[in-house]
Amino acid sequence: MAARNGVVLVGCGNMGFAMLQGWLQSGTLDAGDVTVVEPNAALRERAAGLGVATASDSSGLQDRADIALAVLAVKPQVMDAVLPAYREIVAGGATVVSVAAGIRIERFEQALGAKTPVIRVMPNTPAAVGAGMMVMCANGHVGAQAMEFARRLMAASGEVAVIEDEGLMDAVTAVSGSGPAYLFHMIEALTAAAEAAGLPDDIAAQLAGQTVYGAAVYARQSGETPARLREQVTSPGGTTAAALDVLMGDDRLTKLMTEAVEAARKRSAELGK
């Protein structure tokens, strides 16, 4: 029997392409093991530029016996329309990996068969540079080999966490799935503030980007809590204390972040309906 190590990536937009870059750049997958299905010609070409096979739809894939994982990276709103085309591939032994926000495992079981092996993954776009946060949650039909393969792929894109309780996936989505956008906005806001303080645009952007990057790397590598690292920057009566009075007074930023995460969590739950 042929080895089952093929991956079909269905949808190669923002998230699909970010994962594909992580898989190939790390050498975890050979380009020859991946087929990208993407209706958008420009996005197909972008994927083909990495050396993978591409197709505009699933026809021609049905007979393939080498497909281990069908990674679904289409919008939640089109998932129901996309699934029927993958029934045969799944019946042939492929495991479904969905990165769609909100859509619960039982939706895939209903559409593809009650015993369909399904892994939900909530990735994020820093996967493109191997710095993603990939949270996995599987049903009981996923075999050990498929789970291990999926875990290896996700580990190529960043850190992996596995959770048992699927009910937490909406919260995961709101924190690490959407989270990069909050931090990108933080860079935008710090850049705007730097410009308002009189710095030239290019210096403002450099300072904001490198400061957020450096703080994140330091927070992950120092072994200290973020609170302790914050205190180390904050001289009594100094400049940081003046700024933190603005951000932390009345728990301002924590309340705002909690409100933002709750809005995302609710939206994730709605997308699953």
Ligand X SMILES: NC(=O)C1=CN([C@@H]2O[C@H](COP(=O)(O)OP(=O)(O)OC[C@H]3O[C@@H](n4cnc5c(N)ncnc54)[C@H](OP(=O)(O)O)[C@@H]3O)[C@@H](O)[C@H]2O)C=CC1
Ligand Y SMILES: O=C(O)[C@@H]1CCC=N1
Please name the residues in contact with 110: beta carbons below 8 A apart, sequence gap of 6 or more: none
What's the closest the beta carbon of residue 173 comes to ligand Y, in angstroms?
5
**Cα dihedral across residues 106, 163, 160, 172: positive or negative:** positive
Closest residue to ligand X, based on beta-carbon distance: 13
Which among 70, 72, 103, 76 is positioned nearest to 88, based on CA atoms? 70
Cα separation, 103 vs 97, in Å, equals 12
Under rule CB under 6 A, which residues in 65-104 are in contact with ligand X?
73-76, 78, 82, 99-101
Sheet holding 53-55, edge to edge: 53-55, 34-37, 6-10, 67-72, 95-98, 118-122, 132-138, 158-162
Q: Which residues from 118-177 bind ligand X, rule CB under 6 A? A: 122-125, 177
Of the candidate residues 35, 178, 194, 204, the single one contacting ligand Y (CB under 6 A): 178
Whole-number Å distance between alpha carbons of 75 and 71 = 13
Question: Of 173, 175, 191, 265, which one interacts with ligand Y (CB under 6 A)?
Answer: 173
Check residue 11 for interaction with ligand X (CB under 6 A).
yes
Half-sphere exposure of 124 (CA within 13 A, CB side): 22
127 binds, among ligand X, ligand Y, none (CB under 5 to 8 A by kind): none
Name, in order, each residue with C-beta under 8 angstroms of 126's C-beta and a sequence gap of 6 or more.
Answer: 18, 132, 133, 158, 180
Q: Give the one residue of 119, 177, 191, 269 binding ligand Y; rule: CB under 6 A.
A: 177
120 vs 137: CA distance, rounded Å: 5
The conformation of residue 94, written as its DSSP 8-state character, comes to P
In the complex, what is the shortest distance from the CB of residue 177 to ligand X, in angstroms, rounded to a whole number? 4
Q: How far is the CB of 232 from ligand Y (least distance, A)?
A: 32
Q: Could you identify the residue written with the tokens 């996936």?
A: 169
Element (H, E) at 97: strand 95-98
Closest CB to ligand X among residues 101, 204: 101
Q: Which is nearer to ligand X, 74 or 154 (CB)?
A: 74
Q: x-or-dash pattern for ligand Y, window 68-107, by CB under 6 A? A: ---------------------------------x------
Q: How far is the CB of 204 from ligand X (least distance, A)?
A: 25
* Part of the chain binding ligand X (CB under 6 A), chosen from 36-44, 190-198, 201-209, 250-258: 36-44
Residue 43 interacts with which of ligand Y, ligand X, none, CB < 5 to 8 Å by class:
ligand X
Interaction partner, residue 19 (ligand Y, ligand X, none; CB < 5-8 Å by kind): none
Q: Is 26 exposed, middle or buried (0-12, 13-18, 19+ CB in 10 A)?
A: middle
Binding residues for ligand X, rule: CB under 6 A, are 10-11, 13-16, 37-40, 43, 73-76, 78, 82, 99-101, 122-125, 177
Binding residues for ligand Y, rule: CB under 6 A, are 101, 173, 177-178
